[in-house]
Amino acid sequence: MAYLKRNINLLLLVLCVLLVGFTLSITSYSQNQFESISVQYYDRVNEYKGVIDELQEREDALNSTSFELTRKTQDSAKLNELYTSVEAERDDLQLALKQAQADLTQTSAQLTAAQGTISQKDVEIKLQKNDIDDYEELVKQLDAAIDDAKVTDPNANWADIDDIVSDLKRVS
């Protein structure tokens, strides 16, 4: 039995050494795995932080772009309103210009007609002045003939007076 006790003790010693070795190897393996997993964990955490930072940057850029787009849309709406008002004002001004041009054309036609009438009246006035001058000349001749008739024989110059009177009748 001593042999068995000794073998059992030896067997227990071998078993204890094996258990200690196995425990140490499992502990070492677990520590290596834990360190590897920890490194991977921190790497992933750092990756996630980088992704989060990148997403934050993109969100900021998107917000900035959204703000710019909103501002440009508002500016575009204001420009459209201004364009519409300027276009309406331009149309009103074009209508006013056409009306003014029509008035100018009508006034020019009236002016031309008035100038024609004035020219015609000037010609008529000149003709009437010429007629007046002719009548005055005839009146002078008639006065002279009457004066001559008074001074001389009352029957002598009546033929000249008849000629002057017939000249007056022809002119009128």
pLDDT tens, position by position, 28-39 = 999 999 999 999
Entry pTM: 0.43
Amino acid at 93: L
Give the model confidence (pLDDT) of 41-77 as tens digits: 999 999 999 999 999 999 999 999 999 999 999 999 9
pLDDT at residue 136 tops 70:
yes
Q: What whole-number distance in Å separates Cα of residue 65 and Cα of residue 146? A: 115
Whether 135 and 143 have beta carbons less than 8 Å apart is answered as no
Q: What whole-number distance in Å separates Cα of residue 169 and Cα of residue 172? A: 5
Helical residues (DSSP H) of the chain, grouped into ranges: 2-151, 158-171
Whether 131 and 171 have beta carbons less than 8 Å apart is answered as yes
Start-to-end CA span in the chain (Å): 189
DSSP SS3 for 64: helix
